């Protein structure tokens, strides 16, 4: 699942090799939900390569939902996770290059198409689950946490209805509780595709003129129907079913 990407240092949006914050620290966020409505989450986690696995431990071993910062790290180490430096030379070089160009009023990094990896899954008997993992906005203000570890924003699973996940500008996803909204729209009868578009419409409607950021959603309904939508072009999602794997491109709503 998403652990493959977390361990890949060439993927600079999650786990090992993720882009650091403004001060050069790699901080990770992740969450997980299962078919029983259980959830676990970690935010602002440092020096642990697999935040999604720590989130799972939070879900399985505690009655909490979210652990953050040093508390999350201490919990991870207590449960056998290895502490390691996540800032690769490639990410460090990119960060130093960004710092050199930084203006007095700049506090954010490059506006990439999307930074989070969201995974939705359905087993052979129809049960749903999901996971979400990210290193967050590149060169963010230290302490910033986006939508990815927030249940209902970056990820939501309701085994009776469906599941949804988000990627892109987390602040905007949080403001509309994006993933929860999509699942509730599917509950009302929206198709997954239409639910994703409606959720994006809530954000687009709050902004005048062209949006400078990207948001994309994926959705999976209980009957197996899928949907996806993005504000701008460039978003792709992978669909795996049985032995078949296919990459799908999504047209942007506004370009």
Bigger pLDDT: 113 or 44?
44
Cβ pair 61, 48 in contact under 8 A: no
Q: Name the pTM for this structure.
A: 0.90
pLDDT tens per residue across span 166-182: 999 999 999 999 999 99
Cβ pair 226, 195 in contact under 8 A: no
Confidence band (pLDDT; 50, 70, 90) for 17? Answer: low
Confidence band (pLDDT; 50, 70, 90) for 11? Answer: low
For residue 36, with 0-12 CB atoms within 10 Å meaning exposed, 13-18 middle and 19 or more buried, which class applies?
exposed
Say yes or no to pLDDT of 12 above 70. Answer: no
pLDDT score, position 172: 96
DSSP, collapsed to helix, strand or coil, labels residue 12 as coil
Confidence band (pLDDT; 50, 70, 90) for 54? Answer: very high
Nearest to 204 by CA among 252, 166, 135, 237: 252
Cβ pair 41, 49 in contact under 8 A: no
Task: Of 127-136, 208-217, 232-241, give the lowest mean pLDDT range.
Answer: 208-217
**Torsion angles phi and psi, residue 196, rounded to 5:** -60, -45
Domains observed in the chain? 2-101 (no CATH), 117-250 (3.60.20.30)
Rounded to 10 degrees, the C-alpha dihedral 143/22/51/39 comes to 40
Which residue numbers are catalytic? 116
Residue 141 and residue 68: Cα distance in Å, rounded? 16
């Amino acid at each position: 699942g998403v652990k493959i990407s977390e361990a890949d240092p060439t993927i600079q949006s999650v786990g090992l090799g993720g882009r650091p914050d403004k001060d050069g620290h790699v901080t990770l966020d992740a969450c997980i939900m299962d078919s029983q409505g259980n959830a676990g989450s970690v935010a602002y986690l440092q020096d642990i390569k697999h935040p999604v696995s720590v989130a799972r431990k939070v879900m399985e071993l505690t009655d909490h939902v979210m652990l953050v910062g040093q508390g999350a790290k201490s919990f991870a180490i207590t449960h056998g996770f290895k502490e390691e430096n996540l800032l690769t030379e490639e990410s460090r070089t990119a960060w130093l290059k960004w710092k050199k160009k930084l203006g007095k009023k700049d506090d954010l990094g490059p506006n990439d198409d999307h930074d989070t990896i969201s995974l939705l899954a359905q087993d052979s008997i129809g049960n749903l689950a999901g996971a979400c993992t990210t290193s967050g906005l590149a060169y963010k203000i230290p302490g910033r946490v986006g939508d990815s570890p927030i249940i209902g924003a970056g990820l939501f699973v309701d085994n009776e209805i469906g599941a949804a996940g988000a990627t892109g500008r987390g602040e905007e996803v949080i403001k509309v509780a994006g993933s929860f909204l999509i699942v509730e729209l599917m509950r009302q009868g929206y198709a997954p595709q239409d639910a994703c578009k409606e959720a994006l419409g809530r954000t687009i409607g709050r902004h005048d003129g062209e949006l400078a950021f990207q948001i994309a959603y994926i959705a999976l309904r209980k009957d197996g129907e899928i949907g996806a939508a993005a504000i701008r072009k460039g978003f792709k999602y992978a669909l795996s079913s049985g032995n078949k794997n296919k990459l799908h491109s999504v047209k942007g709503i506004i370009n």
